[in-house]
Structure 1
């Protein structure tokens, strides 16, 4: 949980350029982009209006913009939005827009989108079910939601939580409030009237490959999961 001097938003503001560049430099981030790129290609449709809630520097927004009619990216971190807008200008991408906004301000957009994306944001927010409900409310009938969270079944995630309690590292963990299992998120979506279409696990821990193999299958080894759902 954040202390009074730093919030999840201010921390992401402070690391914005490094976060953007991680999709090139970090194996974990590259795995995230591969996984999300596959899901966006599978579930985005021509003509869709898409919202990327917690878009960061816009990496996934630009992936969706290759297919969809228009993508709205929102994020609470101003520096992230500045980088996303600059990239849109540099690449001459005209079917994206980026705005500084928080989840609690999104009610005025209810029912406006065909597809909602939310990558690695929900773990920082106060109430997981409330925030997922905010996302589902954005969708039109038949709309699709793709979200990702840290994998609570990952053996490495359990080690990470212990390391934070003992050492205060990794630093970002002070802001993390939720590390659920995919089953927990599936149940939330079910209560909200959504049907889960697909769940994938991705991103190996930053450990030697032979150590990762000892953790078991993807459900217990991979550090992230992404879930796709639509209104039932």
Structure 2
């Protein structure tokens, strides 16, 4: 499949399968990849609530902060938590207020500066935590951005206590909304998303590092939000009614197939 960068450049990129993993890779990978994040519309690096999609995003995000921590706290009591790709720090700020000892990594300088305004000092790179150990490490829609996910997972394993929990949320290219929107599916988000995962693919990847999958949770709202952006990619307009229907249909089908638009995987370090 060939997809266009709808956010920054308008360039086209191919999605190619990787071995038998049911993982797709974006090619080519631009040498100046950081420049493809330089947009005021790249929502993870801003606290702006301007515009309809930003307002929707932040309403959902606020609701999900509690939900995400509730899921984690069914598996671990508050302890030491690392958020990789922490953005502007909203999640770890919420975790801190719930009694967690929080730490974060965020490569983007603008996002780190916004986190500083919340008294959160995020490190630029994972190497800043070398030698430390954590009870929980989270990657909320981050693994798909990482050039070498195998190396990253190996490094994260070294930072995680035995029995610790690795939380990975990624889009699922086998969902109904992905199949419906095809090359216009917003969660392909090339070239920022370098990798595209199925459930089988993510499980096989993590099993190579002796992680045990103990729980999977759907991100129900992602189907609606991604459909909203996908409608804009396809037609040039948000079409909220159509997007709402497609999101609803995706979630309805996923109740039978388990192929939700995005999924959160909870892996335990053995």
TM-score normalized with structure 1 length: 0.76
Partner of 2:260: 222
Shift of 1:74: 1.2
TM-fit CA distance, 1:59: 1.3
How far is the alpha carbon of 1:226 from its aligned partner?
A: 0.7
1:80: Cα distance to partner? 0.8
Report if aligned partners of 2:188, 2:196 keep a CA contact under 8 Å in 1.
Answer: no
Distance 1:173 1:34, change over 3 A: farther
Q: Name the CA shift for 1:171/1:195 in 2 (closer, same or farther; >3 Å).
A: closer
Task: For structure 2, list consecutive stretches of 5 or more residues without a partner in the other structure.
Answer: 1-25, 228-241
The answer to whether the aligner puts 1:231 opposite 2:269 as a matched pair is yes
Indicate yes or no: 2:111 matched with 1:80: yes
Cα 1:13–1:87 shift into 2, 3 Å: farther
Distance between the aligned counterparts of 2:173 and 2:179, measured in 1?
7
In the other structure, the counterpart of 1:102 is 125
Counterpart selection for 1:123 from 133, 144, 147: 144
Separation (CA, whole Å) in 2 of partners of 1:192 and 1:20? 39
Q: How many residues are matched?
A: 217
Deviation at 1:161, TM superposition (A): 5.3
Matched, 1:17 2:46: yes
- Alpha-carbon distance in 1 for matches of 2:49, 2:75: 24
Q: Deviations over 1:121-151 (max 9, x none)?
A: 1111112222222222211122111111111
Instruction: Name the residue aligned to 2:34.
Output: 7
SS in 2 for 1:82: helix
How far, CA to CA, are the matches of 1:4 and 1:75 in structure 2? 20
> Equivalents in 2 of 1:18, 1:161: separation in Å?
30
Q: CA, structure 1 residues 171+143, in 2 after alignment: closer, same or farther (shift >3 Å)?
A: closer
* Higher fraction of helix: 1
SS of the residue 1:198 aligns to: strand
Contact 2:217 2:264 in 1 (8 A): yes
Match of 1:156 in 2: 177
Deviations, residues 82-119 of structure 1 (Å, cap 9, x unaligned): 1112123xxxxxxxx4223234x25x524511111111
8 A Cα contact 2:171 2:187, kept in partner: no
Match of 2:223 in 1: 204
Q: Tell me, yes or no, if the aligned pair for 1:85 and 1:98 is still in contact at 8 Å.
A: yes
User: Cα gap change, 1:217/1:172 in structure 2, threshold over 3 Å: closer, same or farther?
Assistant: closer
Is contact 1:195–1:231 with CA below 8 Å preserved after alignment?
Answer: yes
What corresponds to 2:8 in structure 1?
none
Question: Structure 2 length as normaliser, TM-score?
Answer: 0.67
The answer (yes or no) to whether the contact 2:82–2:137 under 8 Å persists in 1 is: yes
1:163-202 aligned within 5 A: 163=184, 172-202=189-219
Name the counterpart of 1:42.
74
Shift of 1:34: 5.3
Match of 1:55 in 2: 86
SS of structure 2 residue aligned to 1:179 = strand
How far off its partner does 1:170 sit? Answer: 8.1
